[in-house]
Amino acid sequence: MKNTIISFTLFTVLLFGISICVAFTTEENDWQEKVSPAVLQQTMAGEKVAVIVFFSAQADLSAAEKLATKGEKAWYAYRELSKIAQQTQANVRQILKMTNAKFRPFYIINAIHTEVDASLLEQLAAQREVARIYPNSLIEQASVVQETSPTLRGGTPEWGITMIGADQVWEMGYRGQGVVIGGQDTGYEWEHSVLKKQYRGWQNGQADHNYNWHDAIREINNLHNDNDPNDPTNNPCGLNVGEPCDDQNHGTHTMGTMVGEDDENQIGVAPGARWVACRNMERGYGSPATYIECFEWFMAPTDLNNERPNPLLAPHVINNSWGCPTMEGCAPENYSLMEKVVEHLKLSGVVVVVSAGNNGTEGCNSIRNPAAIFEQSFTIGATAKNDTIARFSSRGVVTADGSNRLKPNVSAPGVSVRSAIRDGAFANFSGTSMAGPHVAGLVALVISANPALAGHVSLIEEIIESTAVPKTDEMDCGAVLGSSHPNAVYGFGRVNALAAVEKALQITVPSLEYTHRLYPVPFREIVNLELKNWSGRTTLRVFNALGQQVATDTWRIPGQGVNTFELNFSKLAAGLYFYELENGTNTQSGKFLKN
């Protein structure tokens, strides 16, 4: 579900013969233990239920972090994930084919999306390689808050662009060139004047949507209560369409904030970047399966027949201005599915930017839906024109999954943001949906300034966090004080594009598998710094979350090989710290947590 509060006055108002292997069981009802109670109950009542079949075997992609380039990470992740899926899904696929069931296999996690009745459910759950069968169902109707406000005049950079200093980055010559941004949303009006020239599928006056567009919407979402859920005319775009189309404005608006620009309008943070896209929501509603399908397509985009995947065409960053609430089928029992998806995409070298949600009026712990709640998501809150947090912006800490992790990561402009909508028009929308695209565009500016950073996701995120403008708030959320930094309202603060790019330009990305590490992390007093193949005068500088230097040390390392130094940080207060390692022209950075 899109994370937007819509606020606009439009120029034009318009507003995803072979025997079947024998099941191995020891007790007659063992298979039922693998099935979500909701699925079991519905099928026993005679219903057909959309489900996700999750397999026990899952790939280990931890080695991807040691690879030097985005391309290497992408190919490694795709190869390892595909191999596991091919090796373990054969029996279940054969059962589905023999029963004429429609299904879609996934590899980004080892899973299959299908529909089952009681008989088919038992056959699938009885397979030894199946770990769990989760629902992919939709439950209740949602509401969208709408207000009106004047549409701003174009011609100059929008307020959010100037607030974060993106226009100053443009003056340095960095506009996102060489970077590809992905968006998954309600679709996109690709021929809009501010989007067409930036679309990767538009080159030399010709359109080619292969590898640049995917539609995960093949049925009408039953939350709309349409008479015929399979009638494509119920959707303004139709179903499974072969070129980008937006069925509700939301996606077009978010993409405009990322890359939008024409002769009269400067609405995009990174107008020099190219974009690709996937439709994961049908008029604002998605499901775990449509979200996962788009995530998978971004890992290795395919042609329009969903064939010949190519990880080298994956975007550098994707924007996710949506959340998956209970009404769309996401619940604690299946959070792990999408969490593993986000983790795998990040390990493949793609930055996953996610809007925090619009439940801030409920106070603390209101960041509660996937994918914003996950550790590997780069979660974004929203700020207003006076550079304070938007009232609607969801707050941490995350309690929905019991993690108590601190979110959001950072915040960005998200109130009355002017951008593109369908039919060539423009409108002002408000929501964390509008904040996320500012940060996705910022990622493009950072990579444009230092292309060697591409694929080094954690490093890019650290650059953006460490250069954000610190912000505090009166709201305390559990043990996290609003006066601390980072906090559960702003995260590390409101993003600063100019500072982020300036820092990115100082970073030398290592070409070796690894050149340094800190362990153990987190720690209480003593931490070890291991340096691999560093030599000469090397300096470590440690900064607190406010950017103040709190410790430094220098060594003269005699030669290559591995050298380990014991560091005593007992005098530092508990919290999160950033560090820089400098050796001549080589500068690397990271962060650590002290308990």
SS3 per residue for 121-135? HHHHHCCCCEEEEEE
Query: Cα separations (Å) of 404 from 363, 391, 478?
Result: 15, 22, 9
For position 514, what pLDDT does the model report? 58
For position 9, what pLDDT does the model report? 37
State the distance between the two ends of the chain, measured CA to CA, in whole angstroms.
37
Q: Percent of the chain having pLDDT more than 90?
A: 73
Which of 235-249, 402-416, 558-572 has the weakest average pLDDT? 558-572
pLDDT for 369 beyond 60: yes
pLDDT for 173 beyond 80: yes
- The confidence band for 144, taking pLDDT boundaries of 50, 70 and 90, is very low
Residue type, 538: T
For the chain, how are helix, strand and coil distributed in percent, rounded to 5? 25, 25, 50
Residue type, 114: T
pLDDT for 150 beyond 50: no
Query: Does a structural domain hold residue 26?
Result: no
Closest listed residue to residue 211, CA positions, set 145, 267, 277: 277
Report whether 498 contacts 580 (CB < 8 A): no
Closest listed residue to residue 515, CA positions, set 539, 528, 532: 532
For position 277, what pLDDT does the model report? 98
For position 327, what pLDDT does the model report? 84
Residues 6+ apart with CB under 8 A from 45: none
DSSP bridge partners of 589: 580
Average of per-residue pLDDT values in the chain:
89
- The confidence band for 171, taking pLDDT boundaries of 50, 70 and 90, is very high
Please write the tens of the pLDDT for every residue from 118-127.
999 999 999 9
pLDDT for 18 beyond 60: no
Query: Does a structural domain hold residue 383?
Result: yes
For position 226, what pLDDT does the model report? 58
- The confidence band for 511, taking pLDDT boundaries of 50, 70 and 90, is low
Which of 191-195, 219-223, 312-316, 344-348 has the weakest average pLDDT? 219-223
Query: Does a structural domain hold residue 18?
Result: no
> Is residue 476 domain-shared with residue 590, that is, in the same domain?
no
Tokens of 245: 């189309």
For position 42, what pLDDT does the model report? 92
Q: Percent of the chain having pLDDT more than 70?
A: 90
For position 21, what pLDDT does the model report? 32
Angle, helices 497-504 vs 432-449, to 10°: value is 30
Report which of residues 26 and 591 the model is more confident about: 591
pLDDT for 27 beyond 60: no
> Is residue 557 domain-shared with residue 445, that is, in the same domain?
no
> Is residue 240 domain-shared with residue 361, that is, in the same domain?
yes
Domain range for 530 is 516-594
pLDDT for 12 beyond 60: no
> Is residue 413 domain-shared with residue 526, that is, in the same domain?
no
The phi and psi torsions of 484 (rounded to 5 degrees) equal -85, 170
- The confidence band for 300, taking pLDDT boundaries of 50, 70 and 90, is very high
> Is residue 536 domain-shared with residue 416, that is, in the same domain?
no
> Is residue 529 domain-shared with residue 423, that is, in the same domain?
no
Report whether 502 contacts 165 (CB < 8 A): no
> Is residue 539 domain-shared with residue 490, that is, in the same domain?
no
Report whether 438 contacts 429 (CB < 8 A): no
CA distance 254 to 437: 6
Pairing state of beta strands 417-420 and 426-430? antiparallel
Query: Does a structural domain hold residue 39?
Result: no
For position 434, what pLDDT does the model report? 97
End residue of a domain, out of 470, 504, 538:
504
Report which of residues 535 and 528 the model is more confident about: 528
Average pLDDT over residues 425-438: 96
- In this structure, the number of other CB atoms found within 10 A of the CB of residue 451 comes to 14
End residue of a domain, out of 504, 534, 562:
504
Query: Does a structural domain hold residue 404?
Result: yes
For position 230, what pLDDT does the model report? 66
> Is residue 472 domain-shared with residue 582, that is, in the same domain?
no
End residue of a domain, out of 471, 504, 537:
504
When divided into structural domains, the chain yields a total of 2
For position 228, what pLDDT does the model report? 62
- CATH, residue 577: 2.60.40.3080
- In this structure, the number of other CB atoms found within 10 A of the CB of residue 263 comes to 9
> Is residue 196 domain-shared with residue 305, that is, in the same domain?
yes
pLDDT for 139 beyond 50: no
> Is residue 465 domain-shared with residue 589, that is, in the same domain?
no
Residues 6+ apart with CB under 8 A from 555: 537, 538, 563, 565
Closest listed residue to residue 93, CA positions, set 34, 51, 53, 134: 53
172 sits in which H/E element: none
CA distance 545 to 549: 10
For position 459, what pLDDT does the model report? 94
Highest mean pLDDT, choosing among 276-285, 330-339, 526-535: 276-285
Average pLDDT over residues 515-525: 82
Query: Does a structural domain hold residue 328?
Result: yes
> Is residue 434 domain-shared with residue 336, that is, in the same domain?
yes
For position 580, what pLDDT does the model report? 82
pLDDT for 260 beyond 90: yes
Q: Where are the beta strands (DSSP E) in 136-249?
A: 146-147, 180-185, 202-203, 206-207, 213-215
Query: Does a structural domain hold residue 544?
Result: yes
Please write the tens of the pLDDT for every residue from 554-593.
998 887 788 899 999 999 998 888 888 888 756 777 788 8
Q: What is the radius of gyration, based on Cα positions, of the chain? A: 24
For position 439, what pLDDT does the model report? 98
Report whether 537 contacts 556 (CB < 8 A): yes
CA distance 256 to 183: 11
- In this structure, the number of other CB atoms found within 10 A of the CB of residue 310 comes to 15
- The confidence band for 510, taking pLDDT boundaries of 50, 70 and 90, is low
- CATH, residue 365: 3.40.50.200
- The confidence band for 154, taking pLDDT boundaries of 50, 70 and 90, is low
Report which of residues 534 and 425 the model is more confident about: 425
Query: Does a structural domain hold residue 387?
Result: yes
Query: Cα separations (Å) of 38 from 30, 48, 327?
Result: 17, 12, 14
For position 122, what pLDDT does the model report? 95
> Is residue 499 domain-shared with residue 534, that is, in the same domain?
no
